[in-house]
Amino acid sequence: MSAIVAIVGRPNVGKSTFFNRLIQRREAIVDAVSGVTRDRHYGKSDWNGKEFSIIDTGGYVVGSDDVFEKEIDKQVELAIAEADAIIFMVDVETGVTGMDEDVAKLLRKVKKPVFLAINKVDNAKRAEDAVEFYSLGLGEYYTLSSINGGGTGDLLDALVKELPDVVEEKSELPRFAVVGRPNAGKSSFINALIGEERYIVTDIAGTTRDSIDTKYNRFGFEFNLVDTAGIRRKSKVKEDLEFYSVMRSVRAIEHCDVCILLLDATRGFDGQVENIFWLAQRNHKGIVILVNKWDLVEDKETNTIKHYTQKIKKAIEPFTDVPILFISVLTKQRIFKAIETAVEVYNNRNKKIITRKFNETMLPIIENYPPPAYKGKFVKIKFCTQLPTPYPQFAFFCNLPQYVREPYKRYLENKIREEYDFSGVPITVFMRKK
């Protein structure tokens, strides 16, 4: 779990450029998986060894100018509520605008660290012009240029000093977060499990206000169920709703062990569901996909489930070892099976393999199919072990780790999955110098 940083500010000040610069520093190294940076608004970054999640509030606001101001205020309020630190971005070219003053007014009341970042400062003249932003009453500021990266280091140095040290919380009880698009049936799913109308369920998207934990104890399973929340529909602007659901899903996912990703069968595995999936995968959480409202899908031929499953697996490649269940919350069809599966995934995520046995299994496999030679050099893997982390990570020790390419690491991951059940759990494979 990592701290959350939100970038706020009016449109066109360069928030997304800055955001992209931050996530590339990490994504390019860690996620050599194609299609992982699908969600432009959410990413992982790190600086000076401190990892944090970053949310770009840009790109959510759609509509005319009068809608803009209300929407920006809402996003800033939500960012203030959810984030651990806030970067408020302004633009030296335009100078202080009325909208900047409104945002500053909201931020002056905040008890969290706020960093005023003045963008597009790429020469001495502009650095002098930046002085006028003192009038926003937010104290010190940082000048930078998102396009060429100048000045971002100073801002990030100051930022990470203020971020809380977040450790993976090990609560006594496993936490299962029920996530998904608004109106997919998340609250109904929890009601059906608990057998009481604990949540108000209506057909209006996003009536859940807060993230509520419910202790669940049945059939010998005991855990906390977390309903993703705050997907309140405050206006007609569709993007606004997406923003709320992404922001709250981030929080719920960061704090859970297993994500139960619920989707509406009639809408399919669309872009936002996919974003939530990658969000869970990048946070190394267990994942179970539930296709709800299966009873409403018309024209079910014998192989519809098979086709639907293949479509989802295509979208989540290469991490396809994920349980997919077809359920109906309304008729309670397979909802307890869903919980059993989530418990299995939780156990898989906590699985520890004895080093001696792991070597006995993996070394003959590697000998049979060693890493391909690179630039005429041969890689010899001598030893492997599972790392003592809260989720499955494996280190393979060899003479030339830099020559082991991504496809071979994926081959090792697939072999680990064949030998040991890690269904629903992301695995990381590292090559280390012996």
**184 labelled ligand-binding:** yes
**154 labelled ligand-binding:** no
**264 labelled ligand-binding:** no
Q: In what order do the strands lie in the sheet with 258-264?
A: 212-218, 221-227, 175-180, 258-264, 286-292, 324-326
| CB contact at 8 A, 427 and 416 | yes
**278 labelled ligand-binding:** no
Q: β-pairing, 212-218 with 141-143?
A: unpaired
Which contacts qualify for 46-53: CB closer than 8 Å, 24 or more apart? 47/156, 47/157, 47/159, 47/160, 48/156, 48/157, 48/160, 50/160, 50/163, 51/2, 51/26, 52/2, 52/3, 52/4, 52/5, 52/84, 52/160, 52/163, 53/2, 53/3, 53/4, 53/5, 53/250, 53/254
Counts of helices then strands in the chain (DSSP H, E):
12, 15
**230 labelled ligand-binding:** yes
**137 labelled ligand-binding:** no
Buried b (16+ CB within 10 A) or exposed e, 356-384: eebbebbeeebeeeebeeeeeeebebeeb
Instruction: Find the length of the chain.
Output: 434
**424 labelled ligand-binding:** no
**125 labelled ligand-binding:** no
Element (H, E) at 114: strand 114-119
**220 labelled ligand-binding:** no
Residue in this structure with the two tokens 């140095």, named with its chain if needed = 157
**9 labelled ligand-binding:** yes
**56 labelled ligand-binding:** yes
**63 labelled ligand-binding:** no
**60 labelled ligand-binding:** yes
**292 labelled ligand-binding:** yes
**271 labelled ligand-binding:** no
**15 labelled ligand-binding:** yes
**20 labelled ligand-binding:** no
The answer for 299, left when phi > 0, alpha when psi is -120 to 50, beta otherwise, is: left
Q: Shortest CA distance to 251 belongs to which of 175, 321, 310?
A: 175
**10 labelled ligand-binding:** yes
**347 labelled ligand-binding:** no
**185 labelled ligand-binding:** yes
**231 labelled ligand-binding:** yes
Token duo for residue 218: 């049945």
The answer for 149, left when phi > 0, alpha when psi is -120 to 50, beta otherwise, is: left
Cα dist. 124→105, 119, 120, 149 in Å? 29, 13, 11, 16
Q: What is d(CA 105, CA 88) in angstroms, rounded to the nearest whole number?
A: 12
Cα dist. 138→20, 24, 108, 160, 336 in Å? 25, 29, 7, 19, 52
**227 labelled ligand-binding:** yes
**12 labelled ligand-binding:** yes
**343 labelled ligand-binding:** no
**405 labelled ligand-binding:** no
**57 labelled ligand-binding:** yes
HSE, side-chain direction, 13 A CA sphere, residue 244: 24
**183 labelled ligand-binding:** yes
**58 labelled ligand-binding:** yes
Residue in this structure with the two tokens 């098979």, named with its chain if needed = 306
| CB contact at 8 A, 287 and 349 | no
22 burial type by CB count under 10 A (0-12 exposed, 13-18 middle, 19+ buried): buried
Which residue ranges make up the annotated binding site? 9-16, 56-60, 119-122, 180-187, 227-231, 292-295
Which residue ranges make up the annotated binding site for GTP? 9-16, 56-60, 119-122, 180-187, 227-231, 292-295
